[in-house]
Amino acid sequence: EQLYLNGDMSRGVLACVTCHGDGGNSTIPMNPNLAAMPHEYIAKQLRDFVPQGDKRAVRTGADGAPSIMSTIAPTLTPQDVQNVALYLSHQKMDWDKAGTATHEATMERGQTIWRAGIADRKVPACAACHSANGAGLPGEFPRLAGQHPEYLLEQLKLFRSGDRANDIMRDIADRMNDQDLAAVADYAAGL
């Protein structure tokens, strides 16, 4: 909690709260909401942002551009990662600040993909791994409910381009067109 709120200037660790909000409830569309995320997922992401020697980090922005998190994650010790991940996983969602669905017209399409996937393109149901209500699953399966829809759509595009390297999500995002990605990102945010 201390690190989340204040960072540690003596070690060059920035305060997370500035960008991710009180208890992880960010109000900025491209800054993910981190409250009540599975701690294993948060810890994995913090490792994935760290550049690997000469190689890029597992997780970058579009066209391999370093994520802002790639300057922050390397300043954290494994103990910091564990502490901050546990702190965030225990924070409550503030639903007044959470993301919501805004595109009425694509709601049905989003719901279908969420619950049943797209059979003829072999897209599995998102609910299988992110849970029916979007709360995520213990382990490395993130909560998507209440996330900012703009952020979710951006991540789906990063999986598809491989800038965020993840075999499962790359395969899934690759089988969907832009309209499907937008529909399901918006629907998931509103769960």
Residues lying near ligand HEM in the complex (CB under 6 A) are found at 13-14, 16, 18-20, 30-32, 34, 42, 44-46, 61, 67-69, 72, 76, 84, 113, 123-124, 126, 128-130, 140-142, 144, 152, 155-156, 166, 168-169, 172, 184, 188
Residue 90 C-beta: closest distance to ligand HEM, Å: 14
Contact between residue 188 and residue 152 where contact means Cβ atoms under 8 Å apart: yes
- Closest CB to ligand HEM among 104 and 191? 191
Q: How far apart are CA 127 and CA 52, in angstroms?
A: 32
Residue 134 C-beta: closest distance to ligand HEM, Å: 10
- Closest CB to ligand HEM among 25 and 166? 166
- Closest CB to ligand HEM among 99 and 141? 141
Q: How far apart are CA 72 and CA 54, in angstroms?
A: 18
Q: How many CB atoms lie within 10 A of CB 82?
A: 15
Please tell me the number of Cα atoms within 13 Å of 106 on its side-chain side. Answer: 20
Residue 104 C-beta: closest distance to ligand HEM, Å: 19
- Closest CB to ligand HEM among 104 and 139? 139
Residue 62 C-beta: closest distance to ligand HEM, Å: 9
Looking at the DSSP assignment, which residues form a beta bridge with residue 137?
Answer: 141
- Closest CB to ligand HEM among 135 and 144? 144
Exposure string of 110-132, with b = 16+ CB inside 10 Å and e = fewer, is bbbbbeebbeeeebbbbbebbbe
Tell me which residue of 129, 111, 113 sits closest to 121, measured CA to CA. 113
